[in-house]
Amino acid sequence: MSEAPARTRLALASGSPRRLALLQQIGLNPDALLPADLDETPGRNESPRKLAARLALEKAQSGAKLARARPDLSPCYIVGADTVVCVGRRILPKCETLDEADDCLRLLSGRAHRVFTGVTVIDPQGRDRSRLVEARLRFKRLSSREMEAYLASREWAGKAGGYAIQGIAGGFVVKLVGSYSAVVGLPLYETRAMLDGLGYPTDASWATGAPP
């Protein structure tokens, strides 16, 4: 009797709970989280959009390399993504200190900004597809009290631009043009479309709740 074909695996090249929750929202439960250890420093004169696209590709490539070393992840599709917040060409940091968060908040207050999210999918044969999604947002003008309270919440820690739209700062957003899920960290339409295009059965678990 011949062996049954191996079940197709899916891995997310990220440790982000937000990206995991977004995939799960559309019925995709990764078999593994394979975060990449990358230097995310922008290159000289690198634009925000090119940075987001480059890091998404590099994260997916790193995840694919890790998956190849694990027999339990064969065959495997990899999803990698990166989000960059910018004002003009100025790339805002993933805030680690109170001073960084304060600088970002003051820069964003009352102003428009853009969020670029790159996503790359690599299939088991090594073929890749990439998309870059742009969203435009505007924050309300923040009062000193709002700024102080938000900084005290520490919700900014580790967030690009010092905020997460799905958290407290969602109450600062006056206008959003583009993909909400991309601002959170993973553009769901584009991600699912690329997986489908490369042969991953994205709707296989909808009826049963089980992975494909």
Q: Which residues are catalytic?
A: 82
Q: Phi/psi at 86 (nearest 5 deg)? A: -145, 155
Give the CA-trace dihedral at 205, 77, 17, 15, to 10 degrees: 150
**How many C-alpha atoms does 59 have within 13 Å on its Cβ side?**
29
Residue 102 makes CB contacts below 8 A (sequence gap 6+) with: 147, 151
Answer left, alpha or beta for residue 112, where phi above 0 means left and psi between -120 and 50 means alpha.
Answer: beta
- Distance from C-alpha of 47 to C-alpha of 49, rounded to nearest angstrom: 6
Q: Phi/psi at 25 (nearest 5 deg)? A: -60, -35
Q: Classify burial at 208, counting beta carbons within 10 Å of its beta carbon; exposed 0-12, middle 13-18, buried 19 or more.
A: exposed
Residues β-bridged to residue 135: 115
- Distance from C-alpha of 11 to C-alpha of 202, rounded to nearest angstrom: 13
